[in-house]
Amino acid sequence: MRPLEAHIDLDALRHNYQLACRCAPQSHSVAVIKADAYGHGAIACAKALESQVPAFAVACIEEAMTLRQAGITKPIVLLEGIFSVDELTLVDSQGFWIAVHSQWQVDALLAASPHQPISVWLKVDSGMHRLGFSPNEAADIWRQLQAAPNVTALHLMSHFATADAQDNHYFSRQMAQLQALALDLKAPLSLANSPATLAYPVAHGDWNRPGVMLYGSDPLEMANEISQQLKPVMTLRSEIIALRQLDEGEPVGYSGRWRAPRPSRIAVVACGYGDGYDRHARDGTPVLVNGQRCAIAGKVSMDMLTIDVTDIPDAALGSEVVLWGSARNGAILSVDEVARHCDTISYTLLTGVLPRAPRRYHGGSA
Ligand SMILES: *Cc1c(COP(=O)(O)O)cnc(C)c1O
């Protein structure tokens, strides 16, 4: 059997969720499990969290239905609301909560005849400039929705563009707009994503929306005391399947990008971009062999990658290789660090792990 597996530590997931709750004890925290729980498996993650969370959040109704069909009964927020009018029938029958970001969604909601009023999070564009109404438009629509019999549990929702950055100038501008609007409308708020949950108590509303932090990735440009307590949930683990000794100057892999700067021992690992490992990984991207750090040497191939194990004498056929996550000896390689070497973010690495790397679940029982 090919040794590559993505191990998912559901106890770590629960630990990270509790950490999000401890950051914001006055708020409810929805667990954001869109995109198959950032690649971790939405059903397994939802089952592990269901006894602790008041609600889940996903991007669309297909993701919400997957959870319902797996027996998840907690409320589920559709963060982008409905994509077509006919989805309101399912929203009604399943009790989904919906974001409303466009006029056609408002019109459809007001024209519908649901069996019970629908919970609505009205999306305000406070500066992300992606989805939502301008603060002025939002105030009018808020009053319209508030008076509508089809609508209940109305909240204002917004999303931050820069809550992860050290420079809080733009964040403060978004926050000031939202505070003015919320004061005017006496509106309950849902604002905070993971970085705002971790770093900006001022943004904690009735509901927070932590996502990536639940999976143990630190979204902050500069880690803080709380984010340092996050635990990795996914460990992408494989093994060494071949070893060779190269003379100084010999190249490795496609186009010979890496050349041995000294007599070098090269190990071949069963993991490649066909598994979702990022082909942009540069020479020097860290990996753990038997829990010891070493580095990628040469371009990532579809099914394999090559690492320099010259300084790891115990590296052998079958040795454990951790691409990110926790090694058996307890050493940790954060997916954030790997992402930096690939010029990307943890989100793309985690959501990018393909089904060829089977998920193996550990822990998580209530
Ligand atoms: C994905 C998403 C989140 C979670 O963001 P993280 O950065 O992963 O915490 C929160 N709110 C909305 C609207 C989202 O789409």
Q: Would you state the pLDDT for residue 227?
A: 95
Assess whether the C-beta atom of 154 lies below 6 angstroms from ligand 1: no
Question: Which residues are within 8 A (CB) of 337 and not within 5 positions of it... i.e. 6 or more apart?
Answer: 286, 324
Nearest atom within ligand 1 for CA of residue 79? 13
Distance in angstroms (rounded) separating the CA atoms of residues 278 and 234: 16
**32 CA closest ligand 1 atom index:** 4
Q: Out of 122, 123, 162, 193, give the residue to mutate to test ligand 1, the one with the largest number of ligand atoms within 8 Å of its CB.
A: 193
Q: Rounded CA gap, 245 and 293, in Å? A: 19
Contact 94, 73 (CB under 8 A): no
- Distance CA(141)–CA(344), nearest Å, equals 38
Q: CB of 294 within 8 A of CB of 266?
A: no
Q: What is the pLDDT of residues 54-76, one digit of tens each?
A: 999 999 999 999 999 999 999 99
CATH of segment(s) 10-224? 3.20.20.10
The residues spanned by each domain of the chain are: 10-224, 234-362
Ligand 1, atom 1: closest residue by C-alpha: 211
204 lines ligand 1 (CB under 6 A): no
132 lines ligand 1 (CB under 6 A): no
What does the alpha-carbon distance between residue 233 and residue 228 come to, in Å, rounded to a whole number?
A: 14
Closest CA to 256 of 306, 295, 321, 309: 306
Q: Looking at residue 40, what is its pLDDT?
A: 98
3-state helix, strand, coil in the chain (%, to 5): 30, 25, 45
Classify strands 234-246 and 207-208 as parallel, antiparallel or unpaired. unpaired
Taking the centre of ligand 1 as the mean of its atom positions, its distance from the CA of residue 81, in whole angstroms, is 14
pLDDT in the model for residue 364: 83
Among 174, 98, 102, 190, which Cα is nearest to 138's?
Answer: 102
Question: Which numbered atom of ligand 1 lies nearest the CA of 212?
Answer: 8
Q: What is the pLDDT along the chain (366 residues), one digit of tens a residue?
A: 999 999 999 999 999 999 999 999 999 999 999 999 999 999 999 999 999 999 999 999 999 999 999 999 999 999 999 999 999 999 999 999 999 999 999 999 999 999 999 999 999 999 999 999 999 999 999 999 999 999 999 999 999 999 888 889 999 999 999 999 999 999 999 999 999 999 999 999 999 999 999 999 999 989 999 999 999 999 999 999 999 999 999 999 999 999 999 999 999 999 999 999 999 999 999 999 999 999 999 999 999 999 999 999 999 999 999 999 999 999 999 999 999 999 999 999 999 999 999 999 999 875
Task: Determine contact, residues 164/195, Cβ cutoff 8 Å.
Answer: yes
Single out the residue of 279, 285, 268, 267 nearest to residue 323, CA to CA.
285
Ligand 1 centroid to residue 160 C-alpha, Å? 9
Catalytic site residues?
34, 254
Give the pairing type, strands 320-326 and 332-333. Answer: antiparallel
Partnered with residue 123 across adjacent β-strands are 157
Answer yes or no: is the C-beta of 298 below 6 A from any ligand 1 atom.
Answer: no
Assess whether the C-beta atom of 155 lies below 6 angstroms from ligand 1.
Answer: no
Instruction: Please tell me the predicted confidence (pLDDT) of residue 332.
Output: 98
pLDDT at res. 366: 54
- For the CA of 209, the closest atom of ligand 1 is 10
76 vs 64: CA distance, rounded Å: 7
CATH dotted code for 234-362:
2.40.37.10
> Does ligand 1 come within 6 angstroms of the Cβ of 194?
yes
Q: Is 212 in the pocket of ligand 1 (CB under 6 A)?
A: yes
Atom in ligand 1 nearest the alpha carbon of residue 38: 8
Q: Is 158 in the pocket of ligand 1 (CB under 6 A)?
A: no
